[in-house]
Amino acid sequence: MTVTIVGSQLGDEGKGALVDRWGGDADVVVRYQGGDNAGHTVVEGGEEYKLSLVPSGAVRGKVGVLGNGCVVNPRTLFDEIDGLREKGLDPDVRVARRAHVIMPYHRVLDGIEEEVKAEDESGTEVGTTGRGIGPTYEDKVGRRGVRIGDLADRETLRERLEYVVPQKRALVEDVHGLEIDGTDREDAFDVDALLEEFAEFGERLADGGMTVNCSDFLHHRMQAGDRIMFEGAQGTSIDIDHGNYPFVTSSNPTAGGAAVGSGVGPTVVGQGEVVGIVKAYLSRVGSGPMPTELDGDEQEEALADFIREKGGEFGTVTGRPRRIGWLDLPMLRHASRVSGFTGVAVNHVDVLAGLDELKVAHAYELDGEVIETVPATAEEWARCEPIYREFDTWDEVDWTAVAEAGYDALPEATQTYLAYIAEEVDADVYAVGVGPDREDTVEVVNPYKKQ
């Protein structure tokens, strides 16, 4: 039995909190895409853990797997594991031999491409996390990537680097006209230095018994009766296929990615539960259209500031202030269809308490037509005018007491808001987030106990 956790919007919906909550009933937690661009927060008894690569199940002592669909920076991985050890955890992390390695030159190229786009005034700067995600997936698809399995074999690693590094060097020097030698970029393009550092990572992975053939590993664990949780990173609207291209990440956070990115069949993922994580409003870090953004006038900006401060809406990875907007139903309908949600968890309803007004984009008007789901191009999306519905607001209450008492203890206006979302996305509300801590969740259905 599997449970797949998927971001329904633009990332940072509080996926980590739900992975932690329900991860208690799982045995293995698998990341199936993305890399250290993710920042997942788990709060347990007031202690906060920020996880970029180590699956959020680590806080509960579960086996964490980075599937073949992930891109892995071994530097960040080991730093994060060491940091968690200092906090008293002992994360058991396995990495797919088929996963691709983020090399230092990928991060350099990510930075250069963003700078070039920014200077070009083309308006296509994505506002990436700068972690080298896009350039690594480019090399994967271009069949010139370095995989985790290659790190164990010095000769193969050397061959791969000798082929690819001169190409990257030419890209920087000849295409972008930038210097490498004598600058702080130098080490990232030095085959011998890369070989030494990454072969050593290969040894550390091997010594720790950390690499796996992901599909086999999960198959055997499931045969032995283990329960799997798939931990999606990012969100549907920044999915490379289903998001607002080109303002997207380079992988598939949507539920189909769980099968491809781990080597478990789509029938297995599909027989399980697929839970869309929804933030009760909208946040976005990075550029791209956002029809419901609260940035129209001073009053809207003040409201956005209030929500940003109260909700702690600053990027986990980069610290950037997140853009804030009203909940966007066309976006959620699209997310539910693309991933086939069986349920949703709606987080951050506590953050919306005490507002003077509460709006939701029920539909859009695009070039004189009313549409209920998102258009396929970012240009069209940018032209969409939200058609709002107003909802009654709710007051601040003792959310911890509400979490304990259950769904019926939620303010009536909150229940109306939640029922509307459930109806529109055609999925039941499984949980309601009323604060960051593991205990601050109103649980309606635990997906592992449903079937």
Give the residues lining the site for ligand IMO (CB under 6 A): 7, 11-12, 37-40, 126-129, 131, 133-134, 233-235, 238, 249-250, 285-286, 316
Query: For ligand GDP, which stretch binds (CB under 6 A), given 34-42, 77-85, 118-126, 293-301?
Result: 34-42
- DSSP letters of 368-379? TEEESS--SSHH
- DSSP letters of 275-305? EEEEESSEEE-SSS--TTBS-SSHHHHHHHH
Choice between 113 and 437, CB closer to ligand GDP: 437
Q: Give the contact letters, 296-325, x = binds to Mg ion (CB under 5 A), - = no.
A: --------------------x---------
Helix 74-86 to helix 191-207 angle (10° resolution) is: 40
Choice between 102 and 432, CB closer to ligand GDP: 432
347 binds ligand GDP (CB under 6 A): yes
Given the residues 12, 92, 239, 440, select the one marked as catalytic: 12
Q: Which of residues 15-54 bind Mg ion (CB under 5 A)?
A: 39
Given the residues 40, 106, 242, 348, select the one marked as catalytic: 40
286 binds ligand GDP (CB under 6 A): no
Q: Give the contact letters, 7-26, x = binds to ligand GDP (CB under 6 A), - = no.
A: x---xxxxxxx---------
Nearest alpha carbon to residue 449 among 8, 21, 62: 21
64 binds ligand GDP (CB under 6 A): no
Q: Which residues of 291-310 are buried (b: 16+ CB within 10 A; e: fewer)?
A: bbbbeeeeeeeebbeebbee
C-alpha to C-alpha distance for 431 and 20, rounded to whole angstroms = 13
Choice between 26 and 133, CB closer to ligand IMO: 133
Is 100 marked active-site?
no
The structure tokens listed for 47 are 């202690």
Contact 318, 353 (CB under 8 A): no
Query: For ligand GDP, which stretch binds (CB under 6 A), given 5-13, 150-158, 185-193, 389-397?
Result: 5-13
Choice between 136 and 316, CB closer to Mg ion: 316
52 binds ligand GDP (CB under 6 A): no
436 binds ligand GDP (CB under 6 A): yes
Helix, strand, or coil here: 306? helix
312 binds ligand GDP (CB under 6 A): yes
The structure tokens listed for 443 are 């649980």
- DSSP letters of 231-280? E--S-GGG-TTTSSTTSS-SS--STHHHHHTTT--HHHHHHSEEEEEEES
Helix 154-170 to helix 104-119 angle (10° resolution) is: 20
344 binds ligand GDP (CB under 6 A): no
Longest Cα–Cα distance in the chain = 65
Least distance (Å) from ligand GDP to the CB of residue 316? 4
> If residue 169 lies in a helix (H) or strand (E), which one and from where to where?
helix 154-170
Q: Considering CB distances under 5 to 8 angstroms, the limit depending on partner class, which of Mg ion, ligand IMO, ligand GDP, none binds residue 350?
A: ligand GDP
C-alpha to C-alpha distance for 32 and 379, rounded to whole angstroms = 29
Is 153 marked active-site?
no
* Residues designated as active site: 12, 40
Contacts with ligand GDP, residue ranges (CB under 6 A): 7, 11-17, 39-41, 43, 311-312, 316, 347-348, 350-351, 433-436
